[in-house]
Amino acid sequence: MKQYEAVIQALEKLGGQATLAQLYREVMQVEGCKWGTKTPFASIRRIVQTRPEIFKVRPGLWALRAYKEQLGLSESDEKRTAEAIEQDHAYYQGLLVVIGNLRGLATFVPNQDKNKLFVDRRLEELRTLQEVPTFSYEAFVRRVGTVDVSWFNQRQMPDSLFEVEHTTDIQNSLLKFYELRDFHARMVIVADENRRAEFERRIQHDAFYEIKGRVNFFGYDRLVKTYEYEMVRSSEGFTV
C-alpha cells in the first residue's frame, strides 16, 4: 500500500475528516504500509497538503473531497458562511478543551455552546465539567460560565480563561477579563494572527490598565501546533 493510500484509508475510517493529530495516530495503525523514514509525520503533512483527494477545512483539519457534501464542509479558502464561521469557532474551542484535558485540568465551555461540534463530537462530550465550580460569589461564577473555554485546577479554581475571537470585537472579551481581574488566572485572547495588532491597540486603552500585563494573545496556528504536540505526547510509542 502506498503512503497516500494509507492516509486516505485513515481519513475514511475517521469519518472523512480528521485533525492532523488524529491522522498521526490512525495512519500508523494501517497495515501494509511502510514509511521508511524517521519523520513519518512530516510525510503525512506533505500528503494532505498535496493530494487532490484531500482538502484543508481549517488550520490543522483535513477532509476527503468525496465527503465534502455529505459532511457539509467548505474549504478554508472559500467564502465562509455564517454556519461555517460558527463551526470554526467551535473547532478552536474544542482544541482548547482537549489541550486542557490532556494537561489534567478540568474544562468547561458555556452551555449555549455545548451542542456545537468539534470535528465529529459535541463540545459537551469533551468538557469534563457540566457546570462551573462554585469557586466564588455567584456573579463571578456566572461570568466565568460565559467564557469560551475555562480550565480549572485541582482546587476547582480558575486556572486559565480563553476567549476565541473569530469575528467578534476583541474589546468585549477584554471587558469580560477585566471583571475577573481579581482572580489569579491566565487570560488569553485566541484569534487569527492578523488580529494581533488589533489586540495590541485595544489592550493599551486606559480602561484595561490593570490587566494589560496579564492578557496574552495566542494565534490559531500556534494553538493547532500545541494541540498536535499534546496529542502526540499523550500517545505511547509516539515522539515529536
pLDDT in tens, the chain (240 residues): 899 999 999 999 999 999 999 999 899 889 888 887 788 899 999 999 999 999 999 999 999 999 999 998 888 877 778 888 889 999 999 999 999 999 999 999 999 999 999 998 999 999 999 999 999 999 999 999 999 999 999 999 999 999 999 888 999 999 999 999 999 999 999 999 999 999 999 999 999 999 999 999 999 999 999 999 999 888 654 443
Q: Which helix (H) or strand (E) holds 164?
A: strand 158-164
Give the pLDDT confidence score for residue 76 in this predicted structure: 80
Please report the pLDDT score of residue 160 as a whole number: 98
Contact 160, 100 (CB under 8 A): yes
Domains of the chain: 3-78 (1.10.10.10), 82-228 (no CATH)
Total number of residues shown for the chain: 240
Q: Which has the closest alpha carbon to 140: 184, 102, 94, 205?
A: 184
Distance CA 133, CA 156 (A): 6
Q: Which class for 18: exposed (0-12), middle (13-18), buried (19 or more C-beta within 10 A)?
A: buried
pTM of the model: 0.91
Contact status, residue 159 vs residue 184, Cβ threshold 8 Å: no
Residue 157: per-residue pLDDT: 97
Retrieve residue 85's grid coordinates. Answer: 464561521
Q: What is the pLDDT of residue 238?
A: 45
Write down the pLDDT at residue 240. Answer: 34
